[in-house]
Amino acid sequence: MTDAELKQQCRTHLPGHRALSPAELFAAMSDWCEAHSVAHDVYGNGKLIQEFEQKVARLLGCEAAVFCITGTMTQATALRIACTERGSKLVALHPSSHILKHERGNHQLFDHFHALQIGDPQRPWTMDELKAIPDQLGAATLELPAREIGGQCPSWDELAAIKAYCHEQGIHLHMDGARLWETAAAYGRPVGDIATGFDSVYVSLYKGIGGMAGAMLAGSAAFVAKAAEWYRRQGGNVYQRTPYVVAAAMQFDARLAAMPDYFKRTQWLYETLRAFPLLTPNPAQPHANMLHLHLPVSRDHALDIRSRIAEQHGVWLFNGASHAALPDHCFVELYVGDNLLRLADQRVREILTLWSDALAN
């Protein structure tokens, strides 16, 4: 049995939101389209998509926003334009950034920009580390929250200092906000306040929001217009965006409204984990409704435990596992969404006990 088949058979899932089947999702989309008299867009021109773009722009405090089919295209395009405008092809990127870890060298192969790594691989980069770069930068990218290091964010004061420094130095500050919606509850501030001071902001429409695919890029009207043209040049001018926009728009407000509850549940989980020392969270305190759990077993052993508990108890603990720096240690990601929110406290403790006991044996 494959991992996907095993996961599908589980009755209880810890991470994320409940995944709808294609039939369930398409039926919900159909009902929503009928209720809202949705008509197809044509190459991005249409009432639904344009109103949704404007809604996201308003939330982020930006002049404009535009849909893009993938975050990969969105960010590479944004940074290419930023570098051209600022007269330098150098971009400061954290070692764990999506661009460096998951995009297969696209920025180099397509000659979008040149990357300079900044900061410690296990912590968000700081203003002092940015100041230490002697070169003229075209842009700097800050991921909020930083997914590959457990959802960590800089402090509010550090973030404000970075914004001010980039503005003073003429450095385009870009936000990888794939999970930006999750930071509002952690910072205790609306997303517009968080986005203020960034020259461009990318947000995902399928991660925490739960849509099918797609992203938005927000910024000044002129910057967004340039990005839209570059999407066309790169084959991103999808004839009809309607399915992707509907899948996100129909649950967008509900997901944003639930973010404070997800974060409160994450705080509760941290307190609960004190009784399970073999499940060590990173960061030490939650910065968003996501975290890493470090385990005292190898990656393969962790995956075996996951499969065994799934087969015997119908519980899906986590999706993937990664090697840790120490031998026979690993870590897994846990996104706190609807699944964990709806599980009774005692049921969560029972599952953590099962997991901890398996790690101890």
What are the structural domain ranges in the chain? 3-16+256-360, 38-240
Any residues with CB less than 8 A from the CB of 220 and at least 6 apart, and which? 62, 63, 64, 199
Lookup result for tokens 């900044």 = 118
Cα separation, 172 vs 242, whole angstroms: 31
77-104 pLDDT, tens digit each: 999 999 999 999 999 999 999 999 999 9
Q: Is the full-model pTM beyond 0.85?
A: yes
Q: Identify the CATH assignment for 38-240 out of 3.40.640.10, 3.20.20.150, 3.40.50.300, 3.90.226.10.
A: 3.40.640.10
Per-residue confidence (pLDDT) for residue 143, from 0 to 100 = 98
Cα separation, 143 vs 138, whole angstroms: 17
Bridge partners of 215, per DSSP, are: 68, 204
Cα separation, 341 vs 16, whole angstroms: 9
Lookup result for tokens 């009928």 = 34
User: How far is Cα of residue 18 from the mean position of the Cα atoms in its chain?
Assistant: 17
Helix, strand, or coil (residue 332): strand
Tell me: pLDDT of 1 over 90: no
Secondary element (H or E) of residue 166: helix 156-169
Cα separation, 310 vs 318, whole angstroms: 10
Per DSSP, the residues of 121-163 read: TTS---HHHHHT--SPPSEEEEESSBGGGTSB---HHHHHHHH
Per-residue confidence (pLDDT) for residue 216, from 0 to 100 = 98
Per-residue confidence (pLDDT) for residue 127, from 0 to 100 = 96
Terminus-to-terminus CA distance in the chain, angstroms? Answer: 24
Biggest alpha carbon–alpha carbon distance for the chain: 60
Secondary element (H or E) of residue 219: strand 215-219
Tell me: pLDDT of 15 over 90: yes
Tell me: pLDDT of 19 over 90: no
- Are 174 and 202 spatial neighbours (Cβ–Cβ below 8 Å)? yes
Q: Note the helical H segments in 176-298.
A: 183-187, 191-195, 221-233, 242-273
Secondary element (H or E) of residue 115: strand 114-117
174-228 pLDDT, tens digit each: 999 999 999 999 999 999 999 999 999 999 999 999 999 999 999 999 999 999 9
Per-residue confidence (pLDDT) for residue 109, from 0 to 100 = 87
* φ, ψ at 359 (rounded to 5°): -70, -30
Per-residue confidence (pLDDT) for residue 73, from 0 to 100 = 95
Per-residue confidence (pLDDT) for residue 304, from 0 to 100 = 97
319-354 pLDDT, tens digit each: 999 999 999 999 999 999 999 999 999 999 999 999
Secondary element (H or E) of residue 355: helix 345-360
Any residues with CB less than 8 A from the CB of 273 and at least 6 apart, and which? 279, 280, 281, 293, 352
Secondary element (H or E) of residue 239: none
121-170 pLDDT, tens digit each: 999 999 999 999 999 999 999 999 999 999 999 999 999 999 999 999 99
Per DSSP, the residues of 35-103 read: HTT----BTTBSHHHHHHHHHHHHHHT-SEEEEES-HHHHHHHHHHHHHHHHT--EEEE-TT-HHHHHS
Q: Output the CATH code of domain 3-16+256-360.
A: 3.90.1150.10
* Both tokens assigned to 50: 């344009």
* Both tokens assigned to 263: 């974060």
44-82 pLDDT, tens digit each: 999 999 999 999 999 999 999 999 999 999 999 999 999
Bridge partners of 282, per DSSP, are: 292
Lookup result for tokens 């979008």 = 112
Per-residue confidence (pLDDT) for residue 7, from 0 to 100 = 94
318-327 pLDDT, tens digit each: 999 999 999 9
248-271 pLDDT, tens digit each: 999 999 999 999 999 999 999 999
Cα separation, 5 vs 354, whole angstroms: 22
- Within this chain, domains 3-16+256-360 and 38-240 share the same CATH topology: no
